[in-house]
Amino acid sequence: MRRQLAYLQSVVSSMPQGISVFDEQLRLRVWNQGFIDALELPPDAVHEGIHFSDVIRIPVARGDYGQGDSEQLVERITARIGKFEAQRLEETRPNGRSYLIQNEPLFIGAESAGFITTYTDISEQRASAEREQLAQKVYTHTPAGIIFTDEAHRILSINPATTLMTGYEAFELLGQTVYGLITLDEEHTQDAFERDLVLRASWQGELEVTRKNGDSFPAGTRVNRVDDPQSGLPAHYVWILADITERKQSEERMRHIAQHDALTGLPNRMALLMRLAQLLPEARRHGWKIAMMFLDLDRFKIINDTLGHQVGDELLREVACRLSAVVRETDFVARLGGDEFVIILPGISSAADAAVVAGKAIGALSSAIEANGHELHTSPSIGISLFPDDGPDGDTILKNADTAMYHAKAAGRNNFQFFATEMNQITSERLNIEHKLRHAIARNELALCFQPQFLAGDREPIGVEALLRWHHPTDGMISPARFIPVAEETGIIVEIGEWVLATACREMKRWIDAGLKPLRMAVNVSARQLRRRDFCETVANALTLSGLPAELLELEITESSVMENPQEAILILERLGRMGVTLAIDDFGTGYSSLAYLKLFPIDHLKIDRSFVADIETDLNDRAIAFGTIALAHSLGLKVIAEGVETEDQLELLRTNGCDEVQGFLLSKPLYSAAAFTFLHARCPAE
């Protein structure tokens, strides 16, 4: 037997499997390194003659054979092996390796001489089988469509998800090319696409997939090339498809939100610029004209501030609908924000075409708009510029249309104006004045002049009107006609108006303290000031800080400003009247007063505008207006003051026809504070 064992030892030493031979007394006689590795035995613990039970104590102690009493486990295993019966099992060791274990009886001659155990490492086979099982599960259960094709893209198999996506069963597609299902994008022909796959081994992008019923859906697609391991040439392709319909719809919703106004649903500024980027190259190529119309709603802020944003929003939605209804399908209507709209008219033949559309837009907004129970009226001021006549690019023609819109407002609103080059000069001057005006108060560039007002009968001074003057350090004296409209438009007039009010009250109080008889101080109030909710508090604060009695302050308000919102104006004027402040309607006759409202206003004076006084001696119409205003005022219990009186004849005509007070160069020009005090004190010293 020893000779046979020696032979076995020489054989098994070089074998890759783990092999051990135990004799009939279960003592180890032959083994190799594979046996030690398979059982993870300490090398110095294995020697010839060691009993099988001692060998297995090491794995038993580690728990490799389960839990329980280790001696019982050893006895049970030893008893099973001692039967010398053929056994076959698979077992995974603690090191993660899997083994096929085969026990075979060892016979020498006809006698049993023990047993041989072979440990064959099957870890890779098992892992490969598990990978195949996993791959099959993925292939079967993944929500992505998987198509397996040959080198010519003929379909060899599809997974169930592909059937769900397309409606095709596997047998309907087998042998067909994948191009019957997918549509390549515009960047690829089939030949170019296949050349890319050969060069790059994979492709990823978006394709259209056609269903069995003819519908199509967007699919995120990845194509992987599988090469033949022998030749290295393409052998198969794996197409992976994911239905991205929901993602594309979500992207489209986000794109729509990003490019459209949430309130009106119209395209916004971003969409406008994108549309221009498309239209202008076409217009250059074909020699087309494009009209850009910039619309701003007149008096919208008053409606929004007075009736609330909900009413204002409803008005804007209706305006959007009406503007969209007057243009062609090829035209483009956008809302830039606030009450600003833009209309693009591509492919027009002349400026007259734009004028027609502008007229339609004005007409569309001429009828009343119902909004939350309110009957509202608004009108557009429209500026028009033309491409390429008024600019080489979108930014320029949009800016020039905006400039023309401001001139439409200055021309009386509710009209349209075409851009002209000189408009930019006017706009530049306006911006220059606005920039300088913002620093005028802080730099003490503003000052007040005071023009005395007199009784028409005996020419006794009864008050003064505070007039604003601006002396710029480099530009010199800047006319109020230039800077007051800019201040009104930009809102700077509110800060300036508060300064004028406080300064005028302080000056009159200082004059009185210096010995002047108490006189009335008249201060002009802008429409923007009157609309502010804290205006009455501003007036009260100016009186309190200066110490001037309220009855010595008169606020001059233009008739157009009170008629913007008559009901609210009545409430404000009544509050001022209760404070003791007197009130005058300035420039009467130049606006659009409603006599029905005029009689409700708690005012004390009507001022006849200088335009009616200038030609009162020669123009019978002006004379009739002036005398009619005097009669109207007296019938309402109001006093009348005429401004711009420059001749004795004018004064005499006004006096003899009942005018109460006058103001003008005939009696005194506007005077700065020191000169005004000297002039008035000489005629009205304190008693």
pLDDT at residue 197 in the model? 75
Q: Which pLDDT belongs to residue 21?
A: 87
Shared-domain flag, residues 507 and 643: yes
Token duo for residue 575: 């509050």
pLDDT at 57: 78
Query: Residue 158 — φ and ψ, nearest 5°?
Result: -135, 155
What pLDDT score was predicted for residue 9? 76
Has residue 134 been placed in a domain?
A: no
> What is the average pLDDT value for the chain, to the nearest integer?
86
What does the DSSP assignment read for 35-94? Answer: HHHHHT--GGG--TT-BHHHHHHHHHHTTTT-SS-HHHHHHHHHHHHTT---EEEEEE-T
pLDDT level of residue 188 (50, 70, 90 thresholds):
low
pLDDT of residue 654: 93
| DSSP label at residue 637 | T
Residue 245's pLDDT is what?
87
* 23 and 43 fall within a common domain: yes
* Inside any domain, residue 254: no
- Mean pLDDT highest for which of 47-61, 291-305, 544-558? 544-558
The pLDDT score that the predictor gives to residue 597 is 62
C-alpha 414/C-alpha 298 separation (Å) is 7
Domain end, chosen from 219, 248, 277, is at 248
Q: What is the pLDDT of residue 398?
A: 93
273 and 184 in a common domain: no
Residues 669 and 618 in one domain: yes
Asked if the structure places residue 137 within a domain, the reply is no
Report the residue count for the chain: 687
**Does residue 675 surpass a pLDDT of 60?**
yes
CATH at 37: 3.30.450.20
Q: Which of 345, 325, 336, 346 is nearest to 297 (CA)?
A: 336
The whole-angstrom separation of Cα 611 and Cα 608 is 8
pLDDT digits (tens, 9 = 90+) for 531-549: 888 999 999 999 999 999 9
Final residue before a domain boundary, out of 218, 248, 278: 248
Segment 272-289 shows an average pLDDT of: 91
Cβ pair 158, 144 in contact under 8 A: no
Please tell me the total count of domains within the chain: 4
Residue 390's φ and ψ, nearest 5 degrees, are -105, 10
Same-domain status, 351 and 394: yes
pLDDT beyond 60 at 593: no
CA of 92: how far to CAs of 68, 102, 127, 568, 571, in Å?
19, 14, 12, 92, 95
Q: Which residue has 């195949």 as its token pair?
A: 132
Q: Is residue 43 part of a domain?
A: yes
DSSP 3-state of 365: coil
Is 128 within the bounds of a domain? no
Say whether both 198 and 341 belong to one domain: no
CA 162, 166, 172: angle at the middle one, nearest 5?
85
Structure confidence at residue 589 (pLDDT): 62
590 shares a domain with 485: yes
291 and 213 in a single domain? The answer is no
3-state SS assignment for residue 13: coil
Which percentage of the chain shows pLDDT scores above 90?
Answer: 36
372-417 pLDDT, tens per residue? 888 888 899 999 999 998 889 999 999 999 989 988 887 788 899 8
Q: Is residue 127 part of a domain?
A: no
Q: What token pair was written down for 90?
A: 């698979």
pLDDT at 201: 78
Q: Is residue 449 within 8 Å of 458, Cβ to Cβ?
A: no
526: in domain: yes
Instruction: Mark which of 193, 223, 248 sits at the end of a domain.
Output: 248
Q: What is the pLDDT of residue 46?
A: 86
Q: Are residues 325 and 231 in the same domain?
A: no
In terms of residue numbers, what domain contains 157? 142-248
How many CB atoms are closer than 10 A to CB 674? 8
pLDDT for res 677: 95
Q: Are residues 117 and 241 in the same domain?
A: no
Q: Which residues are within 8 A (CB) of 423 and not within 5 positions of it... i.e. 6 or more apart?
A: 400, 403, 404, 407
Cβ atoms of 125 and 118 within 8 Å: the answer is: no
Same domain, 305 and 381: yes
Residue with tokens 């800047």: 478
Whether the predicted pLDDT of 640 surpasses 90: yes
Q: Answer yes or no: do 208 and 269 share one domain.
A: no
Whether residue 346 has pLDDT greater than 70: yes
pLDDT of residue 595: 61
Lowest mean pLDDT among 26-30, 128-132, 292-296, 439-443: 128-132
Ordered DSSP codes for 545-596? HHT--GGGEEEEEEHHHHHSSHHHHHHHHHHHHHHT-EEEEEEETSS---HH
Looking at residue 502, its pLDDT comes to 96
385: CATH: 3.30.70.270
User: What confidence score (pLDDT) does residue 187 get?
Assistant: 65
Beginning with the edge strand found earlier in the chain, give each strand of the sheet holding 289-297 in spatial order: 332-337, 340-348, 289-297, 380-387, 416-418
Q: Which pLDDT does position 424 carry in this prediction?
A: 64
Phi-psi region of 8 (alpha: psi -120 to 50; beta: other; left: phi over 0): alpha
For the chain, give the percent of residues with pLDDT over 70.
Answer: 93
Prior bond of 388 cis (ω within 30°): yes
Q: Which residue has the tokens 């659009």?
A: 592
Helices (H), 299-386: 300-307, 309-325, 351-364
- Residue 241, token pair as written in the block: 């498809």
CATH code where residue 636 lies = 3.20.20.450
Q: pLDDT tens across 476-504, in order?
A: 999 998 899 888 888 899 999 999 999 99
CA 381 to chain centre: 26
Of 671, 662, 681, which is closest to residue 448 (Cα–Cα)?
671
* Residue 598 placed within a domain: yes
pLDDT of residue 146: 87
